[in-house]
Amino acid sequence: MRGLNPQVNDSPRILVIDDNAQDRLLSRRELNQEFPLAEIVELSGPEDLQRELSARNFQLLVTDYDLGWTNGFEILKHVKKRCPEVPVIMFTGTGDQETAVRAMKEGVADYVVKSAMHGTRLRISARTALDHYRQRAILKENEKLAIIGRLTAVIAHEIKNPLDAVSNLLYLTEKDPQKVGEYLPLARREISRIEQITNRTIGFYRQSPKPPESMWARSSTIFWRSTREDLSLRTSR
């Protein structure tokens, strides 16, 4: 499964859906002018679409509205369900103003009338859609890095406290070996705290290997709150 990729603007993978070979050629020609390094994949049936949706390895989809086996709104619905981050452009010659308004309301990146005269519009729309895609990718990547940084700081802080305690206990034991029996249980308790933190960290990510982006911050907060509460209960016993 692939997510947003900020490095796709000059060499994107673009799907073109149309049951008319000449129209697919028109779309390919216009898109190749804007993105010479792009991989443009032509789709002509539902099997092709399902294969690509399962792979989730494309950054833009250009579809006709009136297809022999479905319509542009159904295509949009399937893409938004499986690949919600991918922009969809409706490039058609059979719709009307009402169709265009509905398409924009339902989430297409743009609605372009299909003709050789509107080829430039398709290129501009594709460039704009992929620019927005890349901006969203960069924002999400920055959010991930910020959350990872905060989690790392919290983990370091939670582990440092018991490590400092163990270090102090070792120092005291060296100064007064006769009290090793008193200090050893305390050191073991601090080491147990470290084990609890590491086990909770590993268990949390095993249970939720790929949490939704919007859940990262909230999940990490819940995780560390429950860890502190658990450790407080254990150390107070």
Question: Which residues span the domain enclosing 201?
Answer: 141-236
Tokens of 233: 């209960």
Residues 146 and 223 in one domain: yes
Task: Flag whether the pTM goes above 0.95.
Answer: no
- The domain boundary residue, chosen from 139, 155, 171: 139
| C-alpha pair distances (Å), 154 with each of 112, 149, 191, 203, 204 | 50, 9, 18, 17, 15
Find, among 127, 63, 120, 59, the residue nearest to 90 by Cα.
63
Residues 133 and 31 in one domain: yes
Residues 24 and 129 in one domain: yes
Mean per-residue pLDDT for 198-227? Answer: 58
3-state secondary structure of 15: strand
Measured CA to CA, the distance from residue 146 to residue 102 in angstroms comes to: 38
Q: Are 54 and 81 in contact (CB under 8 A)?
A: no
In sequence order, what are the residues at sequence separation of 6 or more whose Cβ sits closer than 8 angstroms to the Cβ of residue 23?
A: 64, 93, 114
pLDDT band per the 50, 70, 90 thresholds, residue 229: low
Tokens of 205: 């990510």
Q: Give per-residue pLDDT as tens, 176-205.
A: 989 889 989 999 999 988 888 888 777 766
Residues 166 and 231 in one domain: yes
Q: Check which CATH number belongs to the domain holding 121 and give it.
A: 3.40.50.2300
Q: Give per-residue pLDDT as tens, 103-127.
A: 999 999 999 998 767 788 999 999 9
Count: domains in the chain: 2
Residue 79 parent element (H or E) = helix 72-82
Residues 29 and 131 in one domain: yes
Position 86 pLDDT exceeds 90: yes
Q: Give per-residue pLDDT as tens, 47-84.
A: 999 999 999 999 999 999 999 899 999 999 999 999 99
Measured CA to CA, the distance from residue 86 to residue 120 in angstroms comes to: 21
Residues 20 and 130 in one domain: yes
> How many CB atoms are located within 10 Å of the residue 41 CB?
17
| Mean pLDDT across the chain | 83
| C-alpha pair distances (Å), 193 with each of 104, 105, 202 | 55, 53, 14
| C-alpha pair distances (Å), 213 with each of 104, 147, 206 | 25, 10, 17
Tokens of 158: 């939670």
pLDDT at 217: 52
AA letter at 41: V
Task: Look at residue 44 and tell me if it is in a domain.
Answer: yes
pLDDT band per the 50, 70, 90 thresholds, residue 237: very low
pLDDT at 116: 67
Mean per-residue pLDDT for 30-38? Answer: 94
Residues 204 and 227 in one domain: yes
Q: Are 208 and 222 in contact (CB under 8 A)?
A: no
Residues 184 and 111 in one domain: no
- The domain boundary residue, chosen from 139, 159, 193: 139
Residues 99 and 118 in one domain: yes
pLDDT at 7: 52
Q: Give per-residue pLDDT as tens, 158-182.
A: 888 888 998 998 999 998 989 889 9
Q: Are 10 and 126 in contact (CB under 8 A)?
A: no
CA 57 to chain centre: 13
Q: Are 105 and 80 in contact (CB under 8 A)?
A: no
Residues 214 and 163 in one domain: yes
